[in-house]
Structure 1
Amino acid sequence: MNAANDDPADDIVDVLSDYLDRGVEPPRELIEQSPENHLALAALLRVREAARSLIDVDEGGLSTGDEGWIDSILTNLHREVKAGRAIPLTHPSPRANLTLTEGAVRGLVRAAGDSVDGVLVGRCVLDGDVTVAGSPVVVRVEASVFWGEPIPAAAERLRVAIAGALIQHTELAIEAVDVTITDVHLRRTDDEGQQS
């Protein structure tokens, strides 16, 4: 990596992963340094928790070449923890200028999605001009499900959870939440190894 061209947000997932791989809690100052760092840590912890109970059925992963599904999720996290576009928020005072970052919204989508049992969010994209209040926005989410989960029901639970979180916490004009299930994984049992 060429440090001269690097955005610090490009590294945070790797830095936090290094701490977690060593079994060390990342320094509090690092997490409190920015909302993006906090989002990255929360997402990494959710992915690691889910990974403990999954076995990859498709050794090819999430249609990303030779990467496994975890690598694909981590690649998306690198992109998603960046602040991105500023989303305007209303305020009664004309002097106030409040915004919400696109990264915070993607973190909200991931958290809502990962709270749905049997589902793990892989990618989230906000389509539409989020910088203009009232513009229609389509949220596109890719996810994987556990083997045995009825896919239409899991996708609907995910869609409802994400839509509810966005309505509750944002002022976005959500036109649709599109969910695509891209992978199926088996739950790991106690007598199975790291991967079948």
Structure 2
Amino acid sequence: MAMTPHPDDLRLDALEPDDLDGHTIDELADYLDDGMQPADPTIDDSPACQNALAAIIRLRQSSMGSLDAAAAEEPPADESWIGGVLANISLEARAGRDVPLIPEAPTERPVMTEGAIRSLIRSAGDVVPGVVIARCSLDGDVTTLGAPVRVLVELAVRSGAPIHAAAEQVREAVATVLAEQTDLVVDAVDVHVRDLLPALPADADHEEDRA
């Protein structure tokens, strides 16, 4: 099933160079395909690029079996869906706003970038079996310590996986990681299932369970 473009999505080709420290999502994918050799410090030392690379790896691990299973049915739709997820990864990896943390001393002003928090959200959701995170965002004044924030997560679930249980697992995983690693006051974690992915072949399914 193809992913429906979000009305707030921006043109990827216009945003990538600034969002990913001068690189595009295609360049990062090629770098990954080449085994990240020769080393490129402009990628290796970039938090945004590292967040995007980690998300690409998780996406490939989670989705390639489904794409193979669906290849004879809807290859254009699935390729479009993966492209949409990659576009969102590129947008989410940008640093964004500085999110304050509780200081340990009056002179400290610790912050965490919005991009780093989005990466936490995506990584927490991606480990739930049968789930691929398509999009995540923070709604609220994240620049003010103690202000309530809503977390929005859109995902795809593999056919045959229990949809409501998967969504609840994602919600709990995201809430837990944000409580443990940020000082955000999370008012709610809204999880929306937007797509169904084809079921994995039996052997690939066992591999995912062991991952």
Name the TM-score class by shorter chain.
0.7 to 0.9
2:51 alignment counterpart: 39
Is the counterpart of residue 94 in structure 1 residue 106 in structure 2? yes
In structure 1, what is the Cα distance between the partners aligned to 2:92 and 2:105?
Answer: 31
Which residue, 138, 151, 174 being the options, matches 2:186? Answer: 174
1:194 alignment counterpart: none
In structure 2, what is the Cα distance between the partners aligned to 1:54 and 1:120?
Answer: 11
In structure 1, what is the Cα distance between the partners aligned to 2:186 and 2:133?
Answer: 19
Deviations 1:144-193 (A, max 9, x none): 001011211111111011111111110000000000001111233289xx
CA contact (8 A) 1:12 1:37 kept: no
2:128 alignment counterpart: 116
Give 1:59 shift: 6.3
Task: Give the superposed CA RMSD.
Answer: 2.6
**Unaligned 5+ runs, structure 1:** 192-196
Give 1:61 shift: 4.7
2:195 alignment counterpart: 183
CA contact (8 A) 2:63 2:132 kept: no
CA contact (8 A) 1:12 1:40 kept: no
Paired residue secondary structure (2:23): helix
Same amino acid, percent of matched pairs: 41
Which residue, 68, 83, 91 being the options, matches 2:95? Answer: 83
Which residue, 38, 63, 72 being the options, matches 1:51? Answer: 63
Give 4+ residue runs of structure 1 displaced > 6 Å after superposition: 57-60
Which residue, 138, 151, 157 being the options, matches 1:126? Answer: 138
Higher strand share: 1
CA contact (8 A) 1:58 1:183 kept: no
Which residue, 23, 43, 53 being the options, matches 1:11? Answer: 23
1:70 alignment counterpart: 82
Task: Give, as a single letter, the amino acid of the residue that structure 2 aligns with 1:183.
Answer: D
Give 1:28 shift: 5.6
Give 1:33 shift: 1.6
Give 1:19 shift: 2.1
Is the counterpart of residue 137 in structure 1 residue 149 in structure 2? yes
In structure 2, what is the Cα distance between the partners aligned to 1:190 and 1:148?
Answer: 12
Paired residue secondary structure (2:173): helix
CA contact (8 A) 1:124 1:142 kept: yes
Which residue, 154, 161, 164 being the options, matches 1:149? Answer: 161
Paired residue secondary structure (2:107): coil
Cα 1:139–1:58 shift into 2, 3 Å: farther
**Unaligned 5+ runs, structure 2:** 1-12, 204-211
In structure 1, what is the Cα distance between the partners aligned to 2:42 and 2:110?
Answer: 25
Paired residue secondary structure (2:198): strand
Task: Give, as a single letter, the amino acid of the residue that structure 1 aligns with 2:54.
Answer: A
Higher helix share: 2
TM-score normalised by L of structure 2: 0.79
Aligned residues: 185
